[in-house]
């Protein structure tokens, strides 16, 4: 098993159970030194797509999943890795049990552009369902779209 750090819509456990049915949630945690942003407006159906960028002093809330080998390819397809939309990046997730090495998806496009209201709402709902702190969820809900 490899560890995957899910942010944005993949924080929704119900969604992940369909995308990676053999891969349980292990923990929740934070990517320190990263921030959630949006980019690649020309790539999405409804505006800019979620991604993360390095940013000292910032944090991104994540769900840490044990990804079974049979689910890795499916998740890569869903995230558009073969199409060059996202690529994998190695990160360190800070959990209550310590620091864990993991991988996540990063958008292959420049930061900028606005997500649709529907997409931003899904990202905020997913964070809330995963147990993100209230202030983190409210900051998501207040972003421009």
* Known binding-site positions for substrate: 119
| Cα angle: 37, vertex 35, 72; to 5 degrees | 80
Q: Does 72 qualify as catalytic in the annotation?
A: no
**Phi-psi category of residue 113: left, alpha or beta, with phi > 0 → left and psi -120 to 50 → alpha:** left
| 8 Å CB contact between 120 and 140 | yes
Task: Considering the candidates 79, 100, 111, 128, report the single residue annotated as catalytic.
Answer: 79
Cα 59 to Cα 94: distance, rounded to the nearest angstrom: 10
Contact 8, 36 (CB under 8 A): yes
Q: In angstroms, rounded to a whole number, what is the distance separating the alpha carbons of residues 67 and 24?
A: 7
Active site residues: 79
């Amino acid at each position: 098993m490899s560890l995957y750090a899910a942010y944005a819509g993949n924080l929704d456990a119900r969604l992940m159970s369909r995308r990676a049915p053999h891969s349980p949630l292990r923990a929740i945690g934070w990517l320190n030194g990263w921030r959630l942003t949006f980019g690649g407006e020309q790539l999405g159906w409804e505006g800019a797509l979620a991604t993360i960028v390095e940013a000292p002093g910032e944090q991104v809330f994540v769900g840490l999943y044990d990804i079974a080998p049979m689910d890795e390819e499916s998740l890569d397809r869903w995230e558009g890795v073969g199409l060059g939309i996202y690529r994998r990046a190695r990160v360190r997730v800070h959990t209550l049990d310590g620091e864990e090495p993991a991988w996540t998806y990063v958008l292959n496009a420049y930061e900028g552009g606005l997500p649709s209201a529907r997409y931003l709402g899904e990202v905020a709902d997913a964070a809330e369902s995963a147990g993100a702190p209230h202030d983190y969820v409210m900051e998501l809900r207040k972003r421009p779209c």
